[in-house]
Structure 1
Amino acid sequence: MTTHWRITISSVQEDDSRRGLVTLKGSTSSSALPDIIGDAADRAHAWADKFGRTLAGCATLQLDGEDEDDDYYKIEGLDGSLSFDEIAERAVRERLHRQLQKEQSPPRSERSVRTPVGVASRYGADSAGFVTAWQALRDLVADVSIVSGAPLDDVTKVESATGVRWTADLRTLFMQHSGGFELVPAFELVDLGRVLEVRQMFFDAEEFVVEQNADLPPVAADAERPAGSPADRFLPQFIPIAEDNTGAVLVVDMRSGELSGCVIEFSTSMGGSETLWPSLGALVSDVITALTTNGALFQGKYRPEVGAGLTWSRMT
C-alpha cells in the first residue's frame, strides 16, 4: 500500500535567525506511521542539507485526504533526539488530545465589531481605489497597530528584483504596512523584505521536487496560462503578500489575462488555488464587509473579532 504524504518544516538559513516554512511531499510504500515519518524526515534533511538550512522546531505531517485544519500530526524530534517510533507515539497522542479538546470546547461567543455608517455600501468589489479602501479598513480597526510600510524607492527595487511588473495596488500595499497583520483568517501579511525570501524558498523547494520527479512538466506550461488558471508550480509571476503557519501563501498572480493581479493561495503540496479575489481591492473590500455586517470569510467559516487586534474565529 502506498501512502502519499506532505510535511511542512520550519528551517533557519545559516547566518540568519529568520525562520521560513516549506512543504515537501512524497510517498511511502507503507501505511505504518513510523515508516512514513522516517521517509518524510529523510526528505526534509536532504532538502535542508542541499540548501544550507537547519531544521528548527516542530513540523506538521498530513496524509492522503487530510485537508481540514486539525488533520495533521505534530512532529517533534527531527533533530535525531527521538526514534521514529517515539516521534509517532507522541504525534498520535498529541493529535488525539487536540481533537478531544476541540470536541469538548464550547462554541466561541460572537463579539461585536464597530460599524461606521455607510462603509459597507461604499466599498464593494468595484472599489474606487485601493488606498481609499485601505484607509477605510484602518478606520475600522483603529485599535490595531498597522505600521506604515516601505518607501516607494524600496518597493520599486524589490519589484525590479522579481523581474515582474507589479500593479499599482500591489506597490501601494507594501507602502501601507510592515507585515504581521492578519488581514484574512490564518494569513499574516509579509513585509517587503520578506517577499524575495519567500519566493526563494519556494524556488528552492521546486528545484528539489524536480530533482526527485524528473517527469514533471516544465514551469513554462503553467506560466503561459492566463492569470487565475491552476498552477502546479510556483511561478516567477507569483508575488507573495501573506503566509500562514503551514507553508501556504497568498500571492498576487501577475500572469497576463483578464484576471492579472488576482489573489490566489499557493502551497508546494497543493499547488495554486482558484482565484480567491479578482484584485487586492476586492480582498480588502470583503474584509470591510465582514467587519461592518457581522459577516464571515472563506465560505462563512471565519468571523472577524476586533479587540486588542483584528483576529478571526472559526465558526462551529
Structure 2
Amino acid sequence: MAGADRAAVAAAAIGRIDTWLQQHAPRARAALRPPASEPDLEAAQEAVGQPLPPDLRAWWLHADGAHLGLQTDVGWLIPPGFMPYPIAEALKSRSLWMDVARKIAPLDHWDDFVNSENNRPAGTDCETWLPAWLPVATNHGGGNLFVDLRGGPKNGCVMEFYRAGDVLAQWEDVADMLDDIADRLEENEAEIDDLGRINWP
C-alpha cells in the first residue's frame, strides 16, 4: 500500500476507534495522551535512522500513546492485550532491549551480526532486538508490539516481541492494525467489564 493510502486508512480507522471509545469506553478514551509533537516524531526517526511510516505518524499525531499507569483502570486498547507507548517510552524501551541484546550476544561478533540481521527484509524473524525495530505498544509483562523499519515489501509491518526472544507476525502495517481494531470494536469483540475496562477474549 502506498504511503498516502496507508495514512488515509490509518486516519479513517482512528476516527472509527475514537467514535467507538467515546460511546462505549470513555475512560479508555481519556487514557489517550495529546498528539505527539514534531520534535517527538523527529526524535523517533533519528533514533532508528529510518523515516517513520506515514500511518505510524498519523497514529502518533492523533495521540502520543496512552498514560501507561492507567492500564489497570481502562484495560487494553490493542488486542490481545497491549497499551500504546508514548514516543518517549517507546524510545526508552527500544534502548533497554538493545542493551539486553548487547549483553547476551557474543561481543566479538555483535556488530557483524546486528548489521547482517538489520539488513535483512522487514518481517524476517530474529531472536534479538534490532536497531530498526521501533516499539509502539507494551503488555507490561515483557512483551512489545514493534514496527519493523527494515527495507523490503513488508517495511512497516507490526510484530510481537517477547523477552524469551519469540517474534510473532501480527499486522501488515499500522494502518492494517488500526483498521482491524476498528472492525473488531464495531463487531463487539471487545468486552467491557463493570468498571468500563476493555478486555479481549
TM-score (norm 2): 0.78
- Counterparts in 2 of 1:278 and 1:153: CA distance versus 1, 3 Å: same
User: 8 Å contact 1:141–1:310 — kept in the other structure?
Assistant: no
What runs of 5+ residues in structure 2 fail to find an aligned partner?
A: 1-5
User: 8 Å contact 2:147–2:156 — kept in the other structure?
Assistant: yes
Which of 120, 130, 135 is 2:15 aligned to? 135
User: How much has 1:200 moved relative to structure 2?
Assistant: 0.8
User: How much has 1:265 moved relative to structure 2?
Assistant: 0.6
Greater percentage in helix: 2
User: 8 Å contact 2:48–2:133 — kept in the other structure?
Assistant: no
User: 8 Å contact 1:127–1:282 — kept in the other structure?
Assistant: no
User: How much has 1:306 moved relative to structure 2?
Assistant: 7.1
User: 8 Å contact 1:198–1:240 — kept in the other structure?
Assistant: yes
Q: Alignment partner of 2:171: what SS?
A: coil
User: 8 Å contact 1:222–1:233 — kept in the other structure?
Assistant: no
Map 1:233-272 to 2 at 5 A. Answer: 233-272=128-167
Map 1:300-311 to 2 at 5 A. Answer: 303-305=190-192, 309-311=196-198
**Amino acid paired to 1:280:** V
**Amino acid paired to 1:290:** R
- Structure number with greater Rg is 1
User: 8 Å contact 1:234–1:271 — kept in the other structure?
Assistant: no
Provide the C-alpha distance between the structure 1 equivalents of 2:179 and 2:197, rounded to a whole number of angstroms. Answer: 15
User: 8 Å contact 2:90–2:137 — kept in the other structure?
Assistant: no
User: How much has 1:157 moved relative to structure 2?
Assistant: 2.7
> How well do the aligned residues superpose, as a CA RMSD in angstroms?
2.5
Bigger relative contact order, structure 1 or 2 (CA pairs below 8 A, ≥6 apart): 2
Greater percentage in strand: 1
Which of 38, 51, 55 is 1:152 aligned to? 38
TM-score (norm 1): 0.52
Counterpart residue number, 2:170: 276
2:67 is the counterpart of 1:172: no
Counterpart residue number, 2:3: none
User: 8 Å contact 1:130–1:280 — kept in the other structure?
Assistant: yes
Provide the C-alpha distance between the structure 2 equivalents of 1:214 and 1:161, rounded to a whole number of angstroms. Answer: 24
2:71 is the counterpart of 1:183: no
User: How much has 1:308 moved relative to structure 2?
Assistant: 5.3
Task: Number of aligned residue pairs: give it.
Answer: 180
**Amino acid paired to 1:242:** A
- Counterparts in 2 of 1:293 and 1:306: CA distance versus 1, 3 Å: farther
What runs of 5+ residues in structure 1 fail to find an aligned partner?
A: 1-125, 296-302
Q: Which runs of 4+ in 1 moved over 4 A?
A: 213-217, 306-310
- Counterparts in 2 of 1:218 and 1:268: CA distance versus 1, 3 Å: farther
User: How much has 1:199 moved relative to structure 2?
Assistant: 0.8
User: How much has 1:183 moved relative to structure 2?
Assistant: 2.3
- Counterparts in 2 of 1:306 and 1:290: CA distance versus 1, 3 Å: farther
User: 8 Å contact 2:98–2:129 — kept in the other structure?
Assistant: yes
Provide the C-alpha distance between the structure 2 equivalents of 1:165 and 1:307, rounded to a whole number of angstroms. Answer: 42
Identity of aligned residues (%): 22
Counterpart residue number, 1:293: 187
